[in-house]
Amino acid sequence: DAKTTQPPSMDCAEGRAANLPCNHSTISGNEYVYWYRQIHSQGPQYIIHGLKNNETNEMASLIITEDRKSSTLILPHATLRDTAVYYCIVRVRGSTLGRLYFGRGTQLTVWP
């Protein structure tokens, strides 16, 4: 019950922006969009989350469409260390906080 759709894989040249799309057309008003990534053999790493406004932190930017049915994670200057599986997850506030349901994610490969 992942509730999100992501492309299985993407490539990006080092130094360029990586734009990872996510479709969450059934998202409801009290659900956040979260992004995590998992570098091989490590636990998932939190990247960013948002409800309806665009968000930016030191790692990435999150652009959420006005209808909230899709979003894009932007890594502005991708490096080789950004090669990982990126997961887009919708999460309900309140009682189900923390129960994340992971889909298959997008394997991002950054090449030199």
Partner 1 sequence: SAVISQKPSRDICQRGTSLTIQCQVDSQVTMMFWYRQQPGQSLTLIATANQGSEATYESGFVIDKFPISRPNLTFSTLTVSNMSPEDSSIYLCSAVVGVNEQFFGPGTRLTVL
| Contacting positions for partner 1 (CB under 8 A) | 32, 34, 36, 41-46, 49, 87, 97-105
In the complex, minimum distance from the CB of residue 27 to partner 1, in angstroms, rounded to a whole number: 16
Closer residue to partner 1 (CB): 27 or 34? 34
Q: How far apart are CA 87 and CA 16, in angstroms?
A: 20
Closer residue to partner 1 (CB): 70 or 87? 87
Identify the burial level of 62 via C-beta atoms within 10 angstroms of its C-beta, where 0-12 means exposed, 13-18 middle and 19 or more buried. Answer: buried
In the complex, minimum distance from the CB of residue 50 to partner 1, in angstroms, rounded to a whole number: 10
Q: How many residues does the structure list for the chain?
A: 112
Closer residue to partner 1 (CB): 14 or 38? 38
In the complex, minimum distance from the CB of residue 13 to partner 1, in angstroms, rounded to a whole number: 27
Looking at residue 5, the DSSP 8-state letter turns out to be B
CA-based nearest residue to 106, from 1, 2, 3, 11: 11
